[in-house]
Structure 1
Amino acid sequence: MNRFVLLGMGALALAACSKPVPTDTAAPTAPPVADAKAPAATAPATPALEARSFDCAKAHNDAEKLVCGDARLAALDRQLAALYKSAQSSPDELDIAAEQRGWVKGRDACWQAVDAHRCLLEAYQTRIVELNIGSGAVKAPAPVAYRCDDDSKPVTAVFYNELDPQAAVIRWGNDQAIVFPAEAASGARYTREGVEFWEHQGEATLNFYGTALSCKAVG
């Protein structure tokens, strides 16, 4: 199985030969007194407290507590836990386990980020995409090449429109970043902290960790 290489947690960084998909207080009343003969009602489970890769009752850092208290992050945690369990049966089990330990350390460092929620969201989404691509179960679509005003390094984009979450992998020379769909007035826009790729009718702008490029699709 081909391993999927990432820029690193600080940068946290392939997609369809098809074009990217555009993204166009009243006081509470007192509870009724329970009938002593009636069976006690069972409270419904709270989705936000069902993170399964760790015990929320024993969450020991701010990142884990935030995951346990946020329904979207908890859902991503469950999705990642299932993918990781499946990946453990692969021939690259030891490599994947080492990557996962490194990822956990990076996730737990999100409390230092200016936007801890965004950091965690992108961390989970990125790792899910990595495991899906690395599993070999996802057919790698053909990359789309772009010619940019600074042509010192090639730029390509691979659009994984069928993945959950949807994603694109942007390559600039030997560097790459996994980015995710974002709202746009027109065209298709993908972002992550430090990276923005915006494509419309074959023309694209790319901001890659401070480097701004204007590009056109080749072919």
Structure 2
Amino acid sequence: MKMVTPLLASLLAISACVTAGVCEAATKAKPKPLPTYKASFDCTSPQASAEKLICHDAQLARMDLELNRLYLLALTDEHSVPRPNKVEIDQRFWMESRNRCGAGPQAKTCVIASYAERAFQLRQGSAIARTKDPSRLTEGPLAYRCAGFNALVAATFFTVEPGVVFLKWANSSVTLNQVPSNSGTQYTGKDYKGSYSFWQIGDDVFFQIPGSGQMSCAAEPVG
């Protein structure tokens, strides 16, 4: 009786694999599971597609925790505008709106914009939410007066990675995302009107909206 050597066994296995046409599938590495991050809700059983996205995205998870921190502070502020009971109602409506972002290719953009605008609302309405907590990941709203632009521009920043800024003026608003820059901090984005840019270089601020050249802006005192 002939002994099957290890080398012969390997050759036989390769031959069988080729014959069966399964070599490539067998050698393909299994996809690694996505990391799970801490959020304000239970990431072991997220309910909505937007929640699943947040749980597996470091930037969104940090925005979620910061937004929840702002919300809890606003609930303690008897002088908040609106009042705490209305803040609670608004938060429920906001969560429903955020969850409608779904899971499509634009879902993350939608979720970021949702968090940015809600952070602006909570910080604008509550002095307690604007307290200088060392753990905070938001700043603002800060006001800027831009040359040749009639309206004040209010800016609320999310200091996550990459950063996000929500800008509001008159009846318009836009959420911009931080992009690599050789100088200062630059945020860009677009909507159906066109492209926007907000650029901070030291104390200098520049803002550009669709159909306009770059405007030089100066910070103004807030409240």
Q: TM-score, with normalisation over the residues of structure 2?
A: 0.57
Deviation at 1:140, TM superposition (A): 5.4
Residue 82 of structure 1 pairs with residue 73 of structure 2 = no
Look up the equivalent residue of 1:128 and give its one-letter code.
A
Larger helix share, 1 or 2: 2
| 2:206 and 2:217 in contact (8 A); partners too | no
The aligned residue for residue 205 of structure 1 is 208
Aligned residues: 167
Measured against aligned partners, the alpha-carbon deviations of 1:72-108 in whole angstroms (never above 9, x if no partner) come to 3222222222221221122311221122122111211
The aligned residue for residue 108 of structure 2 is 117
Residue 57 of structure 1 pairs with residue 53 of structure 2 = no
The aligned residue for residue 196 of structure 1 is 196
Alpha carbons of structure 1 residues 87 and 147: separation in structure 2 relative to 1, 3 Å: same
CA distance in 2, matches of 1:27, 1:179: 37
The aligned residue for residue 213 of structure 2 is 214
The aligned residue for residue 143 of structure 1 is 144
Deviation at 1:127, TM superposition (A): 2.3
- The alignment partner of 1:131 has SS state of helix
- In structure 1, the gaps of 5 or more residues are 1-24, 29-45, 149-153
Let me know the Cα RMSD of the aligned residues: 3.6
Look up the equivalent residue of 1:66 and give its one-letter code.
L
| 1:167 and 1:180 in contact (8 A); partners too | yes
| 2:207 and 2:214 in contact (8 A); partners too | yes
| 2:120 and 2:166 in contact (8 A); partners too | no
The structure with the largest alpha-carbon Rg is: 2
Question: 1 or 2 for the larger relative contact order (CA 8 Å, sep ≥6)?
Answer: 1
| 1:146 and 1:155 in contact (8 A); partners too | no
CA distance in 1, matches of 2:103, 2:196: 22
Measured against aligned partners, the alpha-carbon deviations of 1:27-51 in whole angstroms (never above 9, x if no partner) come to 89xxxxxxxxxxxxxxxxx983422
Measured against aligned partners, the alpha-carbon deviations of 1:92-150 in whole angstroms (never above 9, x if no partner) come to 112211221221112111116532122223322332343233222547544222316xx
| 2:116 and 2:175 in contact (8 A); partners too | no
Alpha carbons of structure 1 residues 112 and 74: separation in structure 2 relative to 1, 3 Å: closer
